[in-house]
Amino acid sequence: MEKKKVLLLFGTRPEAIKMAPLIPEFQKFARIIDLKICITAQHRHMLDQVLRFFDIEVDFDLNLMKPGQNLHSLTSDIIQETKKIYEIFQPDLVLVHGDTTTSMAAALSAFYLGIPVAHVEAGLRTFNKKSPFPEELNRNITGRIADYHFAPTIESKNNLLDERIDPSKIEITGNTVIDALLLGLNKIKDQKPDSIKLLIDTLPFNRPFILVTGHRRENFGEGFVSICKALHTISQSLDADIIYPVHLNPNVQDPVFKYLSNNPAIFLIEPQPYEAFIWLMNQSKLIITDSGGVQEEAPSLGKPVLVMRDTTERPEAVSAGTVILVGTDYEKIVTETISLFQNEKKYEQMSKLSNPYGDGNASKRIVNFIVNELN
């Protein structure tokens, strides 16, 4: 039997994390599946950290990241350069993930060549094309192109059904981010990497701490100013520290360092490798974030999450009660954070809720579906 060719394609750190658990599952079918990995390197440095941690060997590296890149040039470059890879490898199926410019442009490039596309983490919607920007529209476009849709939840499947996607092409799988989290925690369980040892050596960890992340475009400007002022107030109101790995984007760094750099209870650190970040999540009291992935991961660790967004394409977590939407509203961020610290019953209820995003077997379900479809 001639092997079927599958190309796993991604370009950012979050995609790499969520695609990583698929690789060992595909390798179980090496007799019938020829798997190749292609990266656009839309994000270079942070992507490389994940590749090293999960021991991912890349077959095609487009290395597209440029200083000051914009969405127009990036989209054009991805379409042009993936076309070359498709013509070389001639895959029977291209797998893309989520809502990035890489996923949207690579899917469109495959479509132009008549190559089937599978969409991992399909069907998430905010129904507002400008929030998050440009991710919501990227996800919608990829969903229209895709031939197979791996929806993490029943809600995301229903969104696809409302868009008249063929039900036989949709599979509810859970989210592969949970698979990656469990793999990652297992890798650092017995031997702490240097990145974690460095955190232990340089941060106090003698009080409970809040872990903060933020990078969304829609929060740039006044949104981040409001967030910073809220974090300053929280640091003055609680017997707790704040650890904030600060995104490299100047739109994030400028307000964060302006308003928070002289606060002795707030530790502004560099963006962390994946293994160090999941260790920080596991050690934290609670998490304040605008990240989609953290909304999915934290419930598996029993960590309440305050989401600094007005809308979320992950409403399951809101419905389940594992996250609370606070937007960039100063009062909401301060009030909800202090409430979770002071109301033990509320904290315990949130931390003990089950994760709506899966059981750690999403990758197995996805690969089994693909193998059955291709053969």
Q: Give me the active site residues, please.
A: 99, 121, 135, 215, 217, 247
4 in Cβ contact with 374 (< 8 Å): yes
Nearest to 94 by CA among 157, 24, 19, 161: 19
Q: Distance between CA atoms of 29 and 22, rounded to whole angstroms?
A: 12
For residue 244, the cross-strand partners are 268
Tell me the three state secondary structure of residue 69: coil
Beta strands in 78-125, from DSSP E residues, in sequence order = 93-97, 117-120
Contacts of residue 152, Cβ cutoff 8 Å, sequence gap at least 6: 121, 123, 124, 172, 173, 174, 175, 296, 357, 358, 362
- What gap in Å lies between CA 207 and CA 239, rounded to an integer? 7
Whole-angstrom distance, CA of residue 143 vs CA of residue 149: 8
CB 147 within 8 A of CB 116: yes
Residues 6 or more apart whose Cβ sits within 8 Å of residue 27? 35
Identify any residues that bridge with 245 across adjacent strands, giving them in sequence order.
269
**Region class of 302: left (phi > 0), else alpha (psi between -120 and 50), else beta:** left
Nearest alpha carbon to residue 226 among 338, 337, 326, 330: 330
Nearest to 30 by CA among 7, 10, 56, 4: 4
The CA distance from 308 to 294, in Å, is: 12
Say if CB 217 and CB 132 are below 8 A apart. Answer: yes
